Amino acid sequence: MASLHERTDLAAETVSQAMRASPAVAVAAPTLLGADLNSFVLILTAVYILLQIGFLLHRWVRMSRSKRPSESAE
């Protein structure tokens, strides 16, 4: 049975190798799925912008609700 130290070393090595491979996987995955890198970047940019719009709208709604006078104060 492996000691805790050996398992920790194995986990750290696995994470290290996965991080080294991630840029290659990020470039190869869209190509294998039939999209070129430009299309993939365009899609990710559109998703990012939509998330930012959603966050901004959510923040505006929260701010407008906090500025309203509460009904219990009347």
The per-residue pLDDT for 59 is 93
Q: How confident is the model at residue 2 (pLDDT cuts 50, 70, 90)?
A: low
Question: Residue 70 has what DSSP assignment?
Answer: P
The per-residue pLDDT for 23 is 74
Taking a C-beta distance cutoff of 8 angstroms, is the pair 40, 30 a contact?
yes
Question: Residue 68 has what DSSP assignment?
Answer: S
Q: How confident is the model at residue 1 (pLDDT cuts 50, 70, 90)?
A: low
Angle, CA 24 vertex, CA 49 and CA 37 arms, to 5° = 45
Q: Which residue has the tokens 């219990």?
A: 72
20's CB contacts (< 8 A; 6+ apart) are: none
| pLDDT tens string 13-64 | 887 877 777 777 777 777 777 778 788 889 889 999 999 999 999 999 999 8
